[in-house]
Amino acid sequence: MRKVSIFGATGSIGQNTIDLIARAPESYDVVALTGGHNIEQLAADAQRVGANLAVTAFDARLDDLKNALTGTGVEAASGQAALTEAASRPADWVMSAIVGAAGLAPGLEALKHGATLALANKESLVCAGSLILETARTHDACLLPVDSEHSAIFQALVGEDMGAVERIIITASGGAFRDWPLVDLENATPDQASSHPNWDMGQRITIDSASMFNKAMEVIETREFFGVSPDQIEVIVHPESIVHALVGFRDGALMAHLGAPDMRHAIGYALHWPDRLDLPVERLDLAKLGQLNFRAPEDARYPALRLARWVMERGGLSGAVFNGAKERALDHFIAGRIGFLDMAILVEQVLDRFEAGSGLIDAAMTLDNVTETDHLARQWTDDAMVNRAG
Ligand code: NAD
Ligand code: MG
């Protein structure tokens, strides 16, 4: 039996992971599940998969969790320290599917204990790529991609020499507003941004798909994960979300990964790697699909992609600034305090301020420095809002 833990178990990726694990209960011993405010789901899943421990990220919800688990034998805990403690419990395979920078510390802890970390939490790599990779190396832990594009790249690279790789192309659906006239984007609402044309995901990543902040983070994730240079990474808009990524080799060959837009493919690949086992995902009918379309992303529509290039040039803690500012700007957009286009404007202002004078700009990449930078970036995003209002 493999010992597994799922961080962010109540979310979209977490639920898909539980779906796969619950199909083969005899194969898995579930150590810990974590969630946030959805206590009912967390408690129900903990019982369903026989988890030893359930953790809510929020202390205020601990009593609810304890009540929901009374008499079940499942241990209940709450808060950041409990998340880290859960990640330190021996496990063979850990799913990192918390949304946002909050996923970084538990992921690092799991790597320090030698677990294989299936990384859906792309924010970890954006904020602290070298720290994650270095921690995995030092502790001989394995890091596996779960983002669909990165799983696709990883699969296209099996048996290949990285020296033969010329370029990596990641596809983007273009999100909810890909066909909207540019002038209308200014008035796009959170509800409109929360509906994805192809994928069923958490609200935050869905809005990030509409703004392409998600793709911008994935470009950075590609650079960190595969060690390629920024100019080797391309983004192409592919409305059908069937081709997830392509790897181009020095002989001109392009290896593409195709599959139905179902995250259980990438999760299952990481769960069973290096083997391939049966997965309950739709098989593509290419004749029925008929055609696949590709087009270049428009710069004016997707400023986030330009900001990602800047971050990759700057390196260091600039990724933590980018992510922290983006997360805060997204909070403000969801709360209706700013418009859709304001998110990229605020993030750029925060990056400018960081470059112009931050004591942290050349600081070492430690968890403390990343956390401090993340807080600073959120604070500066609020400052930028006040300045705009004033
Ligand atoms: P989601 O919003 O559906 O779920 C997020 C999970 O994180 C929930 O369990 C929630 O309780 C937990 N959480 C939220 N805030 C927390 C905090 N402060 N501390 C601890 N836990 C907290 O998100 P999702 O769509 O499942 O995405 C999870 C991660 O996977 C993100 O990093 C996202 O970018 C990445 N990802 C998601 C998809 C997808 O299809 N949903 C695809 C690729 C990558
Ligand atoms: Mg993705």
Q: What is the distance between the alpha carbons of residues 153 and 142, in angstroms, rounded to a whole number?
A: 17
Pocket residue to mutate for ligand 1, from 19, 99, 212, 217, most atoms within 8 A of Cβ: 99
Using alpha carbons, select from 232, 222, 226, 180 the residue that is nearest to residue 340. 180
Distance from the CA of 111 to the center of ligand 2, in angstroms?
Answer: 22
Q: What is the distance between the alpha carbons of residues 111 and 132, in angstroms, rounded to a whole number?
A: 8
pLDDT at 390: 62
Instruction: Summarize pLDDT for 174-212 with one digit per residue, the tens.
Output: 989 999 999 999 999 999 999 988 888 899 999 999 999
Overall average pLDDT of the 315-343 stretch = 97
pLDDT at 100 over 90: yes
Point out the least confidently predicted range of 145-149, 198-202, 240-244, 250-254. Answer: 198-202
Q: Could you tell me which residues come within 8 angstroms of residue 110 by beta carbon, excluding any fewer than 6 positions away? A: 5, 7, 87, 88, 91, 94, 96, 117, 141
Query: What DSSP letter does each residue of 171-187 carry, written as one string?
Result: EE---TTTTS-GGGGGG
Ligand 2 (ion): residues with CB under 5 Å are 147-149
Overall average pLDDT of the 238-253 stretch = 98
User: What ligand has the least distance to the C-alpha of 196?
Assistant: 1
pLDDT at 361 over 90: no
Using alpha carbons, select from 342, 274, 352 the residue that is nearest to residue 311. 352
Distance from the CA of 9 to the center of ligand 1, in angstroms?
Answer: 8
Overall average pLDDT of the 43-62 stretch = 98
pLDDT at 388: 77
Overall average pLDDT of the 113-124 stretch = 98
Greater pLDDT, 175 or 389: 175
Using alpha carbons, select from 161, 183, 94, 160 the residue that is nearest to residue 132. 94
How sure is the predictor about 296, in pLDDT bands with cuts at 50, 70 and 90?
A: very high
Question: Which neighbouring-strand residues pair with 192?
Answer: none
Distance from the CA of 123 to the center of ligand 1, in angstroms?
Answer: 10
pLDDT at 58: 98
Using alpha carbons, select from 211, 187, 204, 213 the residue that is nearest to residue 339. 187
